[in-house]
Amino acid sequence: MNLSEEQILALAPDDSSRKSGKDLAAPAKWLSKGSNEAALWGECQGSGSKPYQTQIDLGNLAFKCSCPSRKFPCKHGLGLLLLRARQPKEFAQDTPPAWVAEWLSKRSEKEEKKAEKKDKPVDENAQARRQQARQQKVADGLEELSTFIKDIVRQGLHSLPEKGSAFWENMARRMIDAQAPGLASQLKSIAEINFFKEGWQTQCLDQILKLYLIIQGYKNIDTLQPALQQDIRSLIGFPQNQDELRSQEGIRDEWFVLARQTSEEDKLIVERNWFYGLRTHRYALILQFYVKSQPPPASYTPGLVVDATLVYFPSAVTLRALVKDQYNTWKAKTLPDGMNNWAAVIDRETIANARYPFADTWPCIVTRLTPVSLNNEWWLQDDQQQLMRIRANETALWQLLALSGGAPLRMSLIGKEKEYTPLGVWTDNEYKML
């Protein structure tokens, strides 16, 4: 795999890694290095007594390094790949050392097991029995959750702050037993609500109503449109076959990477990558899940454009997608289109909510927004003097104010109804993350 310097730098998770990677792209930084058609490797002296062992699978562009960094790729992987792009003659064809060969062998065995599992004939009768058993477990669990919700409504919300997080987490564990992990996750999110902050009642009731809608949707699933049926099943936690999705044609576009958000859920890192199609004007959410100590399957840097084919998951309002094929990456040179004001955002959101009433947030780009202060709160004002409350942490807010300087900015956001969180802004034709 031969990548240009620009493509390699586009893999960097942040500006610091990009700069450090450039500094390490020098032969003197490496005690040893080598390559063959399958891999690239090198040893870089760090602060410890032992050099860091860096290796790159060129077939799938996978990185591994013994350094303590949790970034992916780390600066050593970037530096080694950059050095090979700049000075390929420095890398003589060689037999990989044992630590590289062992890593490549394990990766190869893993791919072979995947292929064997994929090719193994399916026992359709056994599969049908398993599906029927799971559906019954889910139905029983939803009946119990329905009673749980009705009890809350009958008793009133006023007593919920006294119950503590265990009240919700116990029911979440019951949903895990019922093989409805999606509902368990939503119950845990209710447990995280600050029940001593003004407005908690609205937030809590919204989440409870969402659960009730899902329960009723599943009970009447045969009466729903196929796309909404799939939404209900996904929200409950039924998996979708991603191999089948990848077999579909997909949509190729130049996708602007708006943001990368990470959170930790059940010892897994959940990474949300927000894309915007420069030609199709469609938004996409690319989810990645990985163990904390492991690198993500792919790296998408905000502010770059990814030439790729995406396949959307079936839904009443398509948003989540997976990357079927990726061809190239470069720094954005044009501004993406956006909506002119908050009225346009609300109109679009109203249409989407009517088709899919379960969303927690919607993405958008608004062309001219100015942060303003009113009644000790911060708002985003459009050219029609309409306001929307900002939901952002203090660091992001002050950064936004510094970049704006009182002038309107083109801005990417996610949110719903009354509050939106700024993700990034365009200033001097350059995209800045918040």
Q: Assess whether pLDDT exceeds 80 at residue 1.
A: no
Mean pLDDT of the chain: 90
Answer with the residue of higher pLDDT: 10 or 34: 34
Residue 126 pLDDT:
78
Of 368, 363, 307, the closest CA to residue 335 belongs to 368
Q: Assess whether pLDDT exceeds 70 at residue 398.
A: yes
Q: Are 102 and 45 in contact, with CB atoms under 8 Å apart?
A: no
Q: Assess whether pLDDT exceeds 90 at residue 423.
A: yes
Q: Can you state the angle between helices 181-191 and 165-177, rounded to 10 degrees?
A: 180
Residue 193 pLDDT:
92
Q: Please state the rounded mean pLDDT for residues 250-276.
A: 91
78-to-26, 56, 156, 261 alpha-carbon distances in Å: 12, 10, 56, 22
Ranking 109-113, 212-216, 308-312 by mean pLDDT, the lowest is 109-113
Ranking 72-76, 296-300, 302-306 by mean pLDDT, the lowest is 296-300
How far is residue 168's CA from residue 190's CA, in Å, rounded to a whole number?
7
Q: What are phi and psi of 345, to 5 degrees?
A: -65, -45
Q: Please state the rounded mean pLDDT for residues 356-377.
A: 94
Which residues have a Cβ under 8 Å from the Cβ of 210 and sit 6 or more positions away? 186, 357, 358
Of 396, 410, 83, 359, the closest CA to residue 231 belongs to 359
Q: What are phi and psi of 38, to 5 degrees?
A: -95, -30
Q: Please state the rounded mean pLDDT for residues 354-363.
A: 94
Kindly report the pTM of this predicted structure. 0.73
Answer with the residue of higher pLDDT: 362 or 62: 362
Strand arrangement of the beta sheet that strand 62-65 belongs to = 30-35, 39-44, 52-57, 62-65
Q: Assess whether pLDDT exceeds 90 at residue 149.
A: yes
Q: Assess whether pLDDT exceeds 70 at residue 413.
A: yes
With vertex at residue 315, the alpha carbon angle to CA 310 and CA 317, rounded to the nearest 5 degrees, is 90
Ranking 225-234, 350-359, 391-400 by mean pLDDT, the lowest is 391-400
The helix or strand, by DSSP H or E, that contains position 130, with its residue range, turns out to be helix 124-155
